[in-house]
Chain A
């Protein structure tokens, strides 16, 4: 049995309207793809221990819709949805993403390009999120936080960060 080596996600901001998330998995691309696109499996990881995924709808075809709903432990509900634009099974997925928890969510879509690159039975995942502008991007990053970071937010109006 292969051992699980828990990797570390890297988040970088390659441009002022983008977020790039990368992570390596100790599994072939077909399995990472399966975990990434199968509703019952998405339910097991997407909440990231911050709550429970109550719904994961996936209509995996070009033009098909997706929607994930999570109830956070703190009690509030978080929902994202979008549409699939490009599907190359086990290798590349392009979809729109809309965060429903903001006013006029449809006015703030992002485009997410996820690539799965397999090497030596391991998979390198790259998720590039393209936002309309910096304000949208920063709102998304901030959505995972408890608040109180206004100072940093102000600074980030003009800043992109790359962790080295």
Chain B
């Protein structure tokens, strides 16, 4: 599954200068969520978002400028798809932290197994 980078602070107005600012806008995050399931024509996005076409096109333009979505022509339709690559440095950063907790919890699995066995043993003795 792809990952999402969301700016939750909303401390400053979103700009189009980089991927992180581009996803600061809730509607654009929604668009990325929808595209995570696969490529979609713009008309489908308009329908699913319940927004006017010009608004959706504006958001898509912002996402394209930072390379978070790719577009291709398919007959008369424009098909949009997700490109999660610009979010990768952030993913890598968090993955290391996640990995360190996984190591801890894996060791805890071993401790828990011993505790369970000890309980079963007690049960048999009684």
Contact = CB atoms under 8 A, between A and B. Distances in A.
B89 interface: yes
Interface in B86-126: 89-94, 96-98, 100-113, 115-117, 119-120
B62 to A, nearest CB: 16
B6 A161 contact: yes
B9 A48 contact: no
B36 interface: yes
Contacts, number: 140
Interface in B1-30: 1-9, 11, 18, 20-21, 24
Contact of B103 (A21, A50, A141, A149): A50
Interface string A23-50: 1011100011011100001001111111
Nearest to B104: A48
Contact of A162 (B6, B93, B112): B6
A141 B18 CA distance: 23
Contacts of A141: 93-94, 97
Contacts of A142: 93
B115 A8 contact: no
B103 to A, nearest CB: 4
Contacts of B104: 45-48
Interface string A134-163: 100000011011000101110110111111
Contacts of A2: 113, 116
Interface of B: 1-9, 11, 18, 20-21, 24, 36, 89-94, 96-98, 100-113, 115-117, 119-120
Please name the 10 residue pairs, one residue from A and one from B, whose CB atoms are nearest each other, closest first: A48-B103, A45-B107, A48-B104, A27-B112, A11-B98, A152-B93, A152-B89, A45-B108, A144-B100, A9-B101
11 contacts: A7-B109, A25-B108, A35-B112, A45-B104, A48-B101, A144-B100, A153-B93, A156-B90, A158-B9, A159-B5, A162-B6
Interface of A: 1-2, 4, 6-11, 13, 15-16, 19, 21, 23, 25-27, 31-32, 34-36, 41, 44-50, 134, 141-142, 144-145, 149, 151-153, 155-156, 158-164
